[in-house]
Structure 1
Amino acid sequence: MRADIVVFDGADDLDVVGPYEVLGLAGRAGQGVTVRLVCLDGPRTVTTAGGLPLPAADWAPQEADVVIVPGGGYARSETSGIRAELDSGRLPAALAAAARPGLVLASVCTGAMLLAAAGLLTGRACTTHHRAVEDLVAAGGRHVDARVVDDGDLVTAGGITSGLDLAIWLIERYRGAQAAALVQQVLEYERREPLWRSGDPVASGAAR
């Protein structure tokens, strides 16, 4: 499994570093997982919301099995972060163009709003940070109240720390429960539930 995490200036630190650490650990443990950071204008150094410099490679979604989109900066109007990416429109357009059979698009927290802007969440089961749920629904998404929502070629996670849970689930989905268990043991972290998968019943009031 090859995963690309697409980064941009103002992305939330943990949205990026959480899944990067989980997936990287799986790779180092010989579980057949590779992960890298990419950006539209790569290769270059991207600066997170917390000021962390991250070297990113060039955008090449055709080479990935999974593309993960972090959030960050959605609640604020700034010159970087989700709001700036939405205003620019370049990243949503690139995500829309990247969609193809065999590629899973995933998001952490408000990264879902970039997928929504790309037109990829319309009518789809998905989740995001609780403060952005109304906007997600207004953009056409079908919100499911779960930690991670797996709707086939679309996997979304709600909340900043949910990037850990998203990545562990992706390891289980692609490499099996044993690989995911190994990663959790090394991290001393247990994936938080609930996990919702396509075909699962949705409890009353859990989706809108």
Structure 2
Amino acid sequence: MQIVLFDGVEEQDFAGPYEVFSYAGRLSGGAAQVAFVSAAEPRVVTAAFGTRVAVAQGWSPAEADVIVVPGGGFGRPDGPGIWAEINAGLLPDKLAAAARAGVLVTSLCTGTILLAAAGLTAGRPCTTHHGAKAELAKRGGVVKDARVVDDGDLVTAAGIVSGLDLALHLVRRELSADLAVAIENVLEYQARGTVWVR
């Protein structure tokens, strides 16, 4: 599993799934592995609230079965975040290529707008942060009022802390329900809401 980081990414968007997947690896004896990646070369990413993260890996979807795309910067069109990534074009292009190669592409919060820019949500059920749902619909997504939307090879989640629910759903789906419950117990968190599944 790989989580894509970029300047302006929301801290909670990537920290929650990273912890869930890390516990999945620890509690399963290594059945899951997670890494941060950037769309280009390894580098230091500065997140939305100034957290600096050293990303040791460049883009390598061939080494992952799941890509997670967090959001950030939706309300700052002139700053770092999703708009800068969309304007640069590199990340949307690479997401489209990963999807064509059969990688399970997932997102949370306004990361779904990046998937829309890559052409991955057009005509498909999906969700995002409540403040970005109109933008997602404008870009052709069939917006569902759900915390997690599972459309097979595209799984999206709503805003910020719903990344925990996304990650727990992916652990349950890809590994086991028992492991997902064990992680919930460690985190003192119970997955919220019904997962919308086609």
Normalising by structure 1, what TM-score? 0.91
Corresponding residue number in structure 2 for 1:117 = 117
Residues 16-67 of structure 1 deviation map (CA, whole Å, 9 limit, x = unaligned) = 1110011111111125111000002221111111111112111001111110
Corresponding residue number in structure 1 for 2:40 = 41
Unaligned runs of 5+ in 2: none
- For the residue of structure 2 that corresponds to 1:58, the secondary structure is coil
- Which of 12, 17, 20 aligns to 1:19? It is 17
1:108-147 residue pairs with structure 2 within 5 A? Answer: 108-147=108-147
Measured on the aligned residues, the alpha-carbon RMSD in Å equals 1.1
1:85 aligns with 2:85: yes
- For the residue of structure 1 that corresponds to 2:34, the secondary structure is strand
Match for 2:148: what amino acid? V
Match for 1:58: what amino acid? G
Corresponding residue number in structure 2 for 1:202 = none
In 2, Cα distance between the equivalents of 1:133 and 1:166? Answer: 17
- For the residue of structure 2 that corresponds to 1:77, the secondary structure is coil
Per-residue deviation, 1:78: 2.9
Residues 59-93 of structure 1 deviation map (CA, whole Å, 9 limit, x = unaligned) = 00111111000000011123311111112111111
In 1, Cα distance between the equivalents of 2:130 and 2:79? Answer: 23
- For the residue of structure 2 that corresponds to 1:99, the secondary structure is helix
Q: Kindly, what percent of the aligned residue pairs are identical?
A: 52
In 2, Cα distance between the equivalents of 1:30 and 1:195? Answer: 24
- For the residue of structure 1 that corresponds to 2:196, the secondary structure is strand
In 1, Cα distance between the equivalents of 2:146 and 2:13? Answer: 17
Contact 2:73 2:79 in 1 (8 A): no
In 1, Cα distance between the equivalents of 2:157 and 2:176? Answer: 19
Report which stretch shifted further, 129-138 or 38-47.
38-47
Normalising by structure 2, what TM-score? 0.96
Match for 1:55: what amino acid? A
- For the residue of structure 1 that corresponds to 2:72, the secondary structure is coil
In 1, Cα distance between the equivalents of 2:78 and 2:20? Answer: 29
In 2, Cα distance between the equivalents of 1:117 and 1:100? Answer: 15
1:5 aligns with 2:7: no
Match for 1:75: what amino acid? G
Match for 1:139: what amino acid? R
Per-residue deviation, 1:101: 5.2
Report which stretch shifted further, 162-171 or 39-48.
39-48
Match for 2:151: what amino acid? D
1:68-107 residue pairs with structure 2 within 5 A? Answer: 68-100=68-100, 102-107=102-107
- For the residue of structure 2 that corresponds to 1:107, the secondary structure is strand
In 2, Cα distance between the equivalents of 1:8 and 1:78? Answer: 15
